[in-house]
Amino acid sequence: MAHLKIPVTKNDHAIGNPSSGRILVEYGDYQCSHCGVAFPLIRKLLRQHGDDICFVFRNFPLQESHPAAVIAALAAEAAALQGKFWYMHDELYENQAELSADNILGYAAALQLDMPKFSHDWQSQQLLERVEKDLEGGLRSGVNGTPTFFLNGERYDDYDETYQSLAMLMEA
């Protein structure tokens, strides 16, 4: 079984209860249709069990298959610098079929981000390095597709694009 090689830290994008004893890490791609299926299921899991789980999202853009995946990941990271990672994360998944640069700028404006700062950060080498670091950590952990989940550091291979397969995490 594969193990998470890069431990979760305070620098990760996390939501839920970090002291719950259940840390679920997703390596995801904003343009991946399978991640798009997982997105509402994870939201439901957090609504129903948010006090009992911490969800961490890490970027794993599969650029060869999904040409907008990197710019989407960079947009989420740029929004994070303004305290709105999860808002942009959700916006990107909710508009997964519309991930052009112009549309992403529109999502940023709709989130009332500081647009000059967003535009600058979105193109920064620092954020590209963060996305690449997530990708590299995923590769080191045996990730070869998205979404890939780890529960408490162990790869979770029972996800089958159903809510029930995620809800089973609460029984683990």
* pLDDT-derived band at 171, boundaries 50, 70, 90: confident
| 105 within a domain of the structure (yes/no) | yes
Task: State the pLDDT confidence band at 4, using cuts at 50, 70 and 90.
Answer: very high
- The parent domain of residue 88 ranges over 13-171
- Residues 24-82: pLDDT tens digits? 999 999 999 999 999 999 999 999 998 999 999 999 999 889 999 999 999 999 999 99
Domain total of the chain: 1
Window from 36-45, 102-111, 122-131, 163-172 with minimum mean pLDDT: 163-172
Distance CA 77, CA 27 (A): 14
Check which CATH number belongs to the domain holding 145 and give it: 3.40.30.10
66, part of any domain:
yes
Give domain status of residue 156, yes or no: yes
**Strands of 54-59's sheet, edge to edge?**
13-16, 54-59, 23-28, 148-151, 154-156
pLDDT attached to residue 96? 96
